[in-house]
Amino acid sequence: MKEIIFKSNVIDSILTFCKIHHPNEAILVVCGSNKRDKLTVDRLMIPPLSEYGPYYSGFPINMLPYDRSIVGTAHSHPSGDSTPSITDLHHFIGLISIIVRYPYDDDDLFVYNSKGESLEYRIL
Ligand SMILES: [Zn+2]
């Protein structure tokens, strides 16, 4: 089981970004380092040509720069339900998918793998 670590300023930025875009869905690309036993998220990238809507947020995947530090995405669920949708699992990028549910407080952030299984994480 790989350990997942977030830098605390990254968590704060994700939550703030989601709050700013509410009631629309917001999406970010998360970057960091992926070691054998540890995945560290230490920075964010705003994807190019993002579109935000109440039920859908996305960006053209082919517009993403080639960047080996991309480890996944983070997006908000303004509905308040943190369960990944079928669409979320079909559009999985990288190793982890972060879903932040309304009202975007510290305990509203959830991390999933590509199977939609919830993963534990730690904040440093
Ligand atoms: Zn979603």
What pairs with residue 2 in β-bridges?
A: none
Euclidean distance between CA atoms 68 and 14, whole angstroms: 20
Alpha carbon of 84 to ligand 1 centroid (Å) = 5
In the chain, alpha helices (H) = 8-21, 86-90
Q: d(Cα 5, Cα 53) in Å, to the nearest integer? A: 29
Distance, CA of 14 to CA of 63 (rounded, Å)? 21
CA of residue 88 to ligand 1 center, whole Å:
5
* AA letter at 16: T
Instruction: For residue 44, report the distance from its CA to the centre of ligand 1, in Å.
Output: 18
Ligand 1: centre distance to CA 93 (Å): 13
User: Model confidence over 59-99: pLDDT tens digits?
Assistant: 666 667 778 899 999 999 999 999 999 989 988 889 999 99
Question: How far does the centroid of ligand 1 lie from the alpha carbon of residue 75, in Å?
Answer: 6
Class for domain 3-123, per CATH? alpha beta
What length does the chain have? Answer: 124
Mean pLDDT of 27-31: 93
Q: Is 46 in contact with 20 (CB distance < 8 Å)?
A: no
Q: What is the mean pLDDT of residues 39-46?
A: 94
Phi-psi region for residue 55, left (φ > 0), alpha (ψ -120 to 50) or beta?
alpha
- Binning pLDDT at 50, 70 and 90, where does residue 105 land? very high
pTM assigned to the model: 0.89
**Distance in Å, CA 69 to ligand 1 centroid:** 22
Check if the beta carbon of residue 26 is closer than 8 Å to that of residue 46: no
- Measured in Å, residue 37 CA sits from the centre of ligand 1 at 27
* Residue whose token pair is 């054998």: 36
Q: Is the pLDDT of residue 49 over 70?
A: no
CA of 76 to the centre of ligand 1 (A): 7
**What is the whole-number distance in angstroms between the Cα of residue 112 and the centre of ligand 1?**
11
Name which residue leads in pLDDT, 68 or 123: 123
* Alpha carbon of 2 to ligand 1 centroid (Å): 23
Residue 52 has pLDDT above 70, yes or no: no
pLDDT of 91 reads: 84
* Mean pLDDT (the chain, rounded): 89
